[in-house]
Chains A and B, each alone.
Chain A
Amino acid sequence: MNIPSLTFLDFQPVLPALLLAVGGIVLLLTEVFQSAATINRAYQSMVALAFSAVAGAVAAATTLEPAREVFLGFGVSDPFSGAVTVLVCVGLGLSVLVSAGFLRHRNAERGEFYALLLFAGAGMSLLAMSNEFITLFINLEVMSVSTYALSAWLRRGTRPSEAGFKYFILGAFSAAILVYGASLLYGATGTTKLSELAGLLPAAVASNPGLTYLGAGLVAVGLAFKVAAVPFHMWTPDVYEGAPTPVSALMSAGVKATAFASLVRVFLPFAQDLGPNHAQLMTYAFAALALLTMVVGNLMALPQRNVKRMLAYSSVAHAGYLLLGVAALFARPTGGEGPLAVTPLLAGAEGAARQQTLQAILFYLLAYTVTSLGSFGALAALERREDEPRGTAWDLEKFAGLSQRKPGWALAMAAMMLSLGGIPPTVGFMGKLFIFRAAVDAGLVWLAVAGVLASAAGVYYYLRVVVYMYMRPSQDGVTVPERQWTTELALVLSTAAVVLLGVAPGTLSAWLGKASVLFSQ
């Protein structure tokens, strides 16, 4: 039998994930030499930060390379996967910075925490590259299992165990649904590789419509759990609230971004190769999901006085805006004729429009990553661990008069809230602008209008935090936790990113435009 050969070129795109995994192992091994009495583990966050920075830089280099298949089609290395990995590394770096102060304050800083963070990042990076269902499932699990363990990291009161357990059960359930869907698709087409699936789908739909639709639907449900789309969002508020704040931040940014990446990668062939009827069907399906997610997410966030829960629901709402982008991506009628046409996916006028939509999604993901990390970071800076078991650590009252006590923190939090609400001159505004424009260009005007209305409702609860910080007097006897330079660095970095990218998004957006290339056959 002929043995397929793998060359160095196959392994090169995995380098960022490999770096993250090596960083995790280094942290695990050095933790062995620390005793329980060791208080100062400052080196750990720096090691984790360095590894994520290097991995991000390496991934940024891969976005400039042409798209190609690696590992015999089990993975792809394309600019899109590179950009998602960069995004994950940005999220990881900020999350590590926030974690350092957060954990030190609770005397819970251990090598395993950062190791699990880096492993989760490696899983995300690999997931963005996965082009085959088995690979996709395994990498999804690498990412998920790390976050299950991380969400139960602190044992203060019942909330963390509730969060970990709930996330684990529902996450395992959704992964099982995804695998079931993938196995049905395998039954219908005889392949698990996405690149081959594209060519085999039309025949499969003709001969086995039930199996194909059910399989695709179940895969979509499995991924919708991960991105927390309504009605699969039930776990989100409890898990985000119970998990350590830096971990909630990474969940809302990294997990969501990579789940969206695989959603696009799995379902673009469906929209592209099954003809206009199916593309329209999928557009409607995802548009309905987007509408529901935007409306429910924003309405549920309205009455929340617990800021952490409010951010959780806001993360659901933002998944809705991203789904709007995904629906716009599928709304594009197919350009090339024939399922196996060897034309680049993104060629021609339609291709350019698709690339623009993908660019809008990537920009929104990046905007949401920095904003979400910043807002959870400000929350983490303000949290006092004595309040956590009673669940009052995140009450709106804690923000009252923050502008007098901590003007810097208040300014950062205000920038984040404006960005989440989509008010200029912040990156959140630009992200919403791009994604709504893509939706309007794709003919989904009604959905874009619904999105704008939903985000207008969102402005109320985001601005309420700002009002509390700047217009309410401080409560008596409120103490603020000590300053941690790492947390403050994360706040400065994310605030700078939010404002600068909001004022001048050109360079980044041009780079993301180049990176919006998916591999296709």
Chain B
Amino acid sequence: MSVENVLFWVFALGIVSSAFLVILARNPVHSAMALVGAFFFLAAEYVLLWAHTIAVLQVLVYAGAIMVLFLFVIMLLSLTDADLQPGQVTLARVVGGASAAGLCLVMVETLSKTKGAGQVIAGEQTQVFGTLAEMGRVIYTQYLFPFEAVSLLLLVAIVGAVVVAKARI
């Protein structure tokens, strides 16, 4: 068993256990922090898959920016203890749970049928795939047109947000 395989299992266990913590924790702030943990473990898995760029973005965007937003929302809601009691079994919850379980089943079925799914665990990719250098090369050459269009999109989004946020024009 190579080092990569050992690390894979460590991080995988980390992901699953922190994901369980997210749904089992009573306090929403604890849930959010457990989610941050899950994101970090996931980022580590990406590193093992030689997807460095996605790993970095995972930490920067999800574990960083989006989770801060989550925490802000939780604080703004200022939940009381009464809000945090387990609710009744409603139709929506049953349907939601059932579809989640169904999706899980479909994923397991698909992955078990996919040829060689077990092999693609760690360190098996060509070792440049998804590194920052490789991504940069592709973005600035092959994908130059959409990449530059994104810069225009961001400019428009900033100007538009400022315009819409103005109280009165």
The size class of the interface chain A forms with chain B is: 35 or more
Docked complex: B132-158 residues within 8 A CB-CB of A: 137, 141-146, 149-150, 152-153, 155-157
- Using A126-B149, A155-B168 as known contacts, say yes or no to A146 and B141 having CB atoms under 8 A apart: no
Taking the nearest CB of chain B, how far is it from the CB of A306, in angstroms?
24
Interface string of A1-35 (1 = CB under 8 A from B): 10110100000000000000100010010000000
Q: Are A71 and B145 in contact (CB under 8 A)?
A: yes
Q: Are B156 and A145 in contact (CB under 8 A)?
A: yes
Q: How far is the CA of A142 from the CA of B146 in the complex (A)?
A: 11
- Tell yes or no: B162 within 8 A of A by CB: yes
Interface centre among A28, A132, A145, A153 (most CB of B within 10 A): A145
Q: Are B137 and A1 in contact (CB under 8 A)?
A: yes
Interface centre among A21, A138, A148 (most CB of B within 10 A): A138
Q: Are B145 and A135 in contact (CB under 8 A)?
A: yes
Q: How far is the CA of A113 from the CA of B143 in the complex (A)?
A: 30
Q: Are B160 and A149 in contact (CB under 8 A)?
A: yes
- Tell yes or no: A139 within 8 A of B by CB: yes
Taking the nearest CB of chain A, how far is it from the CB of B37, in angstroms?
29
Q: Are A135 and B149 in contact (CB under 8 A)?
A: yes
- Tell yes or no: B163 within 8 A of A by CB: yes
- Tell yes or no: A399 within 8 A of B by CB: no
Taking the nearest CB of chain B, how far is it from the CB of A120, in angstroms?
8
Q: Are B146 and A74 in contact (CB under 8 A)?
A: yes
Q: Are A71 and B144 in contact (CB under 8 A)?
A: yes
Q: Total A-B pairs in contact (CB under 8 Å)? A: 81
Residue of A nearest to B166 (CB): A155
Partner of A152, one of B141, B143, B145, B164: B164
Partner of A3, one of B137, B143, B156, B167: B137
- Tell yes or no: B7 within 8 A of A by CB: no
Q: Are B156 and A138 in contact (CB under 8 A)?
A: no
- Tell yes or no: B77 within 8 A of A by CB: no
Docked complex: A123-158 residues within 8 A CB-CB of B: 123, 126, 132, 134-135, 138-139, 141-142, 145-146, 148-149, 152-155
- Tell yes or no: A449 within 8 A of B by CB: no
Which residues of chain A come closer than 8 Å to B146, judged between CB atoms?
A: 74, 132, 134-135, 138
Which residues of chain A come closer than 8 Å to B164, judged between CB atoms?
A: 148-149, 152, 164
- Tell yes or no: A110 within 8 A of B by CB: yes
Taking the nearest CB of chain A, how far is it from the CB of B145, in angstroms?
4
Q: Are B152 and A149 in contact (CB under 8 A)?
A: no
- Tell yes or no: A330 within 8 A of B by CB: no
Q: Are B153 and A141 in contact (CB under 8 A)?
A: yes
Q: Are B144 and A123 in contact (CB under 8 A)?
A: no
Beyond the given pairs A138-B153, A145-B156, 6 more chain A to chain B contacts, judged by CB atoms under 8 angstroms and listed by A's residue number, are: A4-B141, A74-B146, A108-B169, A116-B160, A149-B163, A155-B168
A–B complex contacts, Cβ < 8 Å, 16 sampled = A1-B137, A6-B141, A71-B145, A74-B145, A108-B169, A112-B162, A119-B156, A122-B152, A132-B145, A135-B145, A142-B149, A145-B153, A145-B160, A149-B160, A152-B163, A164-B164
**B interface residue numbers (CB < 8 A to A):** 137, 141-146, 149-150, 152-153, 155-157, 159-164, 167-169
